Structure 1
Amino acid sequence: MRAPDLITDPAALAEQFRTFVAGHGPACRCEARFGDFSVTANFHGFTPQTSYGQALRPVRHAAAPALTIHVFDGEACGLARPRLAWTLPDFGPKRVVPGWSSDNRTVYLLRGENGLAVADWQAKEAFIWMPSSDAVPWYERAAPFRWLFDGLAARLGMATLHAAAVGIDGEGVLLVGRGGVGKSTLALACLGNGFDYVGDDYCLFSQASTPQAHALYSTAKWKKDATVTPAWLNSISPDAVDTTQQKNIVFVDAAKPQSLVDSLRVKAIVIPSIGGTTQARLEAMPQQAALPHVITSTLAQSEAGAAPLVRAVGHLVRSVPAYRLHMTRDPQESVSAIRDLLAKASDAGRVV
């Protein structure tokens, strides 16, 4: 078989994929919410079982998508890996390949999947090549395209945050901080107590008249060896296990469908911390002191530019109050503290 032609720029890479799509049959397709927008994902060479759009939040009334994503199982499609004329200085520490990216197009090297991708932002299309569906790790199946959504969110005036979001009657809190501080544990404990659920790890943030957290995924994850696990999780079997991160995964749309909401109005930022107290309590903190807790892990994981992300988070922390939640080993106490905080917000029209 003749080796693929050498591709020398992102536009040619996108065009090669576009030509392949035009000459081949239908794909497994899903349409998903993206804040007030939608995205479409087409899985070429995948079966309904091997495609990985299940974790995306379905859209109810699809308009023209903000982005159409084409994912290729190279082996099943007979599509060889494109040969690119990139060199070592083109690469950076993350997936984005700076030497091959611009405002109009972004190229990604998917090291974990041994794949690559290109987003043509003007054409509102993205193309993802993988050697086979077997190369898709479970962290990608549980949170599909997060690395791609960073760039899309920035171009739509939003931001993807490394944060959990839960609430009551449309009003909620963002749970923020580095991995391991208890965000997922607290979010899942709230979920088990009937709270509205946007996400336990990632969400979309938009700033209109009021800050809003929008759902990205319908999954929840918790560590297999967690010292504190909300009781309701002990009575269910995980839908999957991410062996690379040693996390259990459950699809919330099956386990707790009544709790899934599309968005919440953000009334406060909460930074959980575990240990050193015998009773869960909230401690007000200066808004600017909350900034590093929101931005540090988000920035470390984001594939978008730093400047717009810092501006968005800066606007967020100036808009709502921030609290440190000192948690005990009993998650129910922390759930009660969040419930009381939201009750005050509902009664007063703002958190006091």
Structure 2
Amino acid sequence: MIHPGEFLTRDDPRADPFGERLRPAICMSRQVLGGRFRFESDSIALLELVEAAYGCLPAHRFPGLSPEFHVELRLVPRTAGSALTEPPPVRTQGGKGLLCGVVDACNYVLLVPAQRRGLVVVSEDMLAFPYHVRYELIEFAVFLLASRVLNLVPLHGACIGKDGLGVLLLGASGAGKSTLALHALLAGMQMLAEDSVFVHAESLLATGVANFLHVKSDTLRFVDDPAAREWIEQAPVIRRRSGVVKHEADLRGRAGLAAPAPLRIVAAVFVTDEPGDATRGLLDSIPWEFAAPMLADDQPYGSGQVGWDRFVQKIVRAGVYRLRRGAHPRDAIRALAPLFDCARGAG
């Protein structure tokens, strides 16, 4: 409260209770998911996390679309008495054109897609959890802004590609999508994204962030290339909220692994734990009357977004398949190869 006769200076925190006059000292621009993101902050630590996530990525653009986004990253004082072993999960909220993700009172994201703007607030103690800050706060802002402004259908899944064509890998967590993505790379293909894919429904052009590949140690028994094994084994280890521990291998230090431009999706493949056999093989087509509900069940968030119905119409027409597990992951990659060949021939 301001008492009669009391005057406030510009430096008095009561004169700017919302921090609106703060001016970030450093700006960084990165082309991500078809948009130009301008990150502003006075915290080198937060900008280093942006660079770790989006530095040295291929600059994906959609024809005729190149919006600019502004995201402010604000570091606030350490939370009193905090001694967390893991931050609480993000809670989401939205309404009246605003989207919000909240960890606690000092760690949250506020987005205004109509204005292409976002605010990411991080407390100093959260810097001890760079994986969570990067994926659950910074990525939250970037992914939501890009998908809402560019009208992209967000999908939980991976996407591998070749010669400008892409195949979506869908299915439950733990089904083996990351393992297949690794062996696709070892077979000379490229990766568009490992965990989140964003598709323009009308063109079926897809983009993603091909920065890291997450691989469990027990899957390395299938990697015959000593150099590839060493690359993954020397990568940092992260622990996901599910408790799963994986190597986080950076793709950007190895030339040619990331798709250089958006890929045209030619098929969607549900990866399953069901073993294949000599009679049925590994890959079979899913009839259209079953494909649409399977897609909706697999993508509860994406199925509620603008463009979903058109995406389903287009992808069902392109082809939806089921992939069974082979004796070795490279068997599954061989089973997927005809999808690229047929699409290339049809094009």
TM-score interval (norm. to shorter): 0.7 to 0.9
Structure 2 equivalent of residue 190 of structure 1 = 184
Tell me how far 1:170 sits from its aligned partner: 0.7
Tell me how far 1:59 sits from its aligned partner: 3.3
- Closer, same or farther in 2 for the Cα pair 1:60/1:178, shift >3 Å? closer
Tell me how far 1:185 sits from its aligned partner: 1.1
RMSD value over aligned CA atoms?
A: 3.5
Structure 1 equivalent of residue 300 of structure 2 = 299
- Closer, same or farther in 2 for the Cα pair 1:161/1:143, shift >3 Å? farther
Q: Distance in 2 between matches of 1:150 and 1:309?
A: 15
3-state SS, counterpart of residue 155 of structure 1: helix
Counterpart pick for 1:222 among 215, 224, 235: 215
Tell me how far 1:315 sits from its aligned partner: 3.7
3-state SS, counterpart of residue 97 of structure 1: strand
Count of aligned positions: 313
Structure 1 equivalent of residue 329 of structure 2 = 331
- Greater mean alpha carbon deviation, residues 163-172 or residues 254-263: 254-263
- Closer, same or farther in 2 for the Cα pair 1:124/1:118, shift >3 Å? same
Q: Which amino acid aligns with 1:235?
A: E
1:97 matched to 2:97? The reply is: no
Bigger CA radius of gyration: 2
Structure 1 equivalent of residue 306 of structure 2 = 308
Tell me how far 1:168 sits from its aligned partner: 1.5
Q: Deviations over 1:180-214 (max 9, x none)?
A: 11111111110111102201211211123x31111
Tell me how far 1:253 sits from its aligned partner: 1.1
Q: Distance in 2 between matches of 1:318 and 1:331?
A: 25
Unpaired segments ≥5 residues, structure 2: 1-10, 81-88
Structure 1 equivalent of residue 154 of structure 2 = 160
Q: Deviations over 1:201-246 (max 9, x none)?
A: 11211123x3111122421112234486544442313432212341
Contact kept, 8 Å, 1:178 with 1:296, in 2: the verdict is no
Q: Which amino acid aligns with 1:334?
A: A
Counterpart pick for 2:112 among 120, 126, 144: 120
Contact kept, 8 Å, 1:204 with 1:216, in 2: the verdict is no
1:32 matched to 2:31? The reply is: yes
Tell me how far 1:158 sits from its aligned partner: 0.9
Tell me how far 1:332 sits from its aligned partner: 1.0
Q: Deviations over 1:102-150 (max 9, x none)?
A: 22x2222135x96112112333210110112515442553687343323
Structure 2 equivalent of residue 242 of structure 1 = 238
Structure 1 equivalent of residue 59 of structure 2 = 59
Tell me how far 1:33 sits from its aligned partner: 2.2
- Closer, same or farther in 2 for the Cα pair 1:157/1:341, shift >3 Å? same
Q: Distance in 2 between matches of 1:45 and 1:228?
A: 41
Q: Deviations over 1:43-98 (max 9, x none)?
A: 4312488433322235389x97532111122239xxx99xxxxxxxxxxx963224
- Closer, same or farther in 2 for the Cα pair 1:345/1:116, shift >3 Å? same
Aligned identity (percent) is 18
- Closer, same or farther in 2 for the Cα pair 1:268/1:64, shift >3 Å? closer
- Closer, same or farther in 2 for the Cα pair 1:329/1:96, shift >3 Å? same
Q: How does 1:9-48 map to 2 (within 5 A)?
A: 16=18, 18-21=20-23, 24-27=24-27, 29-35=28-34, 37-47=35-45
Structure 2 equivalent of residue 86 of structure 1 = none
Q: Distance in 1 between matches of 2:58 and 2:21?
A: 28
| TM-score, normalization by structure 2 | 0.77
Q: Which amino acid aligns with 2:285?
A: A
3-state SS, counterpart of residue 52 of structure 1: helix
Contact kept, 8 Å, 2:46 with 2:73, in 1: the verdict is no
Tell me how far 1:3 sits from its aligned partner: 11
Q: Which amino acid aligns with 2:335?
A: A
Tell me how far 1:175 sits from its aligned partner: 0.7
Q: Distance in 1 between matches of 2:272 and 2:147?
A: 29
- Closer, same or farther in 2 for the Cα pair 1:290/1:17, shift >3 Å? farther
Contact kept, 8 Å, 1:72 with 1:129, in 2: the verdict is yes
Q: How does 1:199-214 map to 2 (within 5 A)?
A: 199-208=193-202, 210-214=203-207
| TM-score, normalization by structure 1 | 0.76
Q: Distance in 2 between matches of 1:25 and 1:329?
A: 55
Contact kept, 8 Å, 1:239 with 1:249, in 2: the verdict is yes
